[in-house]
Amino acid sequence: MRSIVVLCAVFGVCSPAWADEVAVAVAANFSAPMRQIADEFERASGHHVRLSPGATGALYAQIKNGAPFDLLLAADDETPARLEREGNAVAATRYTYAIGKLVLWSAKPGVVDDKGGVLRQGNFERLAIANPKTAPYGEAAVEALTRLGLYAGLQAKLVQGNSIAQAYQFVASGNAELGLLALSQVWKDGALVSGSAWIVPESLYAPIRQDAVLLARGADKAAALALLQFLKGDKARAVIRAYGYGL
C-alpha cells in the first residue's frame, strides 16, 4: 500500500477525481507569463496545469505526431489555423491571446537611443535577430529593417538565433551589441528590466499575432476549456500586458 502511495507521489498520476490536468504547449516567448497565469488558474480552479514550452514549429511537429497536449499557445497565427484546417484542433476555439511587440535592445544602458538612430549610425558589429524563416519575431525584424531601408546595408552584421530566446542570449551575453527581440523578453511589470531599448513602432511591421487553440485531445476536457476561458479574463490580461504584449 505504502509503495503505491509513493508511486503516486513520484509520478503524480493519482490526482483526485475533481481535479484535472491540462497539458499546454506554449511558445517559448510566452512561457514566463504563462507560468504566472497558470499559477493563478491553479489556485482559482484546483486544476493542474502542465506547461511544455518550445518553438512553435517543433510543437507543431509534436502535435502532428500525437503529443499529449490539450491546448496550444503559439507564437504565430498560422500554426493554430493550420492545425484547425488539418483536423488537429477544435474549430472556432482559435483566438489571439497576445500581440507581440518588437524591440531594439542592447544589454548596455545608453547604447540604444529612443528613436533607434543607432541602427542608422551603424557603429556596431552584430545585430541579432531570430531566424526569419522560422520565427515570427525574426520575420517582423526583417520587415522593419526593410521598411527603414536598412536591411540590405545591415545584412553582413546580422546573426540569427534559431529562436527569439537564442537571439536574446546572443545580446545578453554581449556577443552581439544589439538585437531585435520580443519586448516581453526585456520588459517586466511595465518597465524595461535592464540595458537600453527602442520599442519599434508597430507601423513598421505586420502585427505579431499569437493565437491559442484548443487541440483535439482537449476537446472534451472541462479543465482545458476553463483555462482557455481564464486566459481571456481580466487577471490573465493584466499579466499579459505587464509583460509588454498588446491585446
Partner 1 sequence: MTALESQDWSAIWLTIKLAATVTLLLLLLGTPIAWWLAHTRSRWRSVASALVAMPIVLPPTVLGFYLLLLMGPDGPVGRATQALGIGLLPFTFGGLVVASTFYSLPFVVQPIQNAMEAIGPRPLEVAATLRASPWDAFWSVVVPLARPGFLAGAILGFAHTVGEFGVVLMIGGNIPGVTRVVSVQIFDHVEALEYARAHWLAAGMVGFSFIVLLLLYTLSPQARRS
Please say which residue, 36 or 169, places its beta carbon nearer to partner 1.
169
Please say which residue, 57 or 116, places its beta carbon nearer to partner 1.
57
Please say which residue, 33 or 179, places its beta carbon nearer to partner 1.
179
- Name the DSSP letter for residue 246: B
User: Can you tell me which residue has the cell 536598412?
Assistant: 150
Report, in Å, the least distance between residue 9 CB and partner 1: 28
Please say which residue, 127 or 182, places its beta carbon nearer to partner 1.
127
Q: Whole-angstrom Cα distance, residue 136 to residue 205?
A: 11
As beta bridge partners, residue 208 has 100
Is 164 within 8 Å of 132 (Cβ atoms)?
A: no
Report, in Å, the least distance between residue 61 CB and partner 1: 7
Q: Whole-angstrom Cα distance, residue 155 to residue 159?
A: 9
Residue ranges that bind partner 1, judged by CB under 8 A = 55, 57-58, 60-61, 125-126, 128, 131, 133-134, 158-162, 166, 169-170, 173-176
Report, in Å, the least distance between residue 144 CB and partner 1: 19
Report, in Å, the least distance between residue 175 CB and partner 1: 5
Task: Give the strand order in the sheet containing 196-199.
Answer: 158-161, 127-130, 178-182, 102-106, 196-199
User: Can you tell me which residue has the cell 513598421?
Assistant: 204
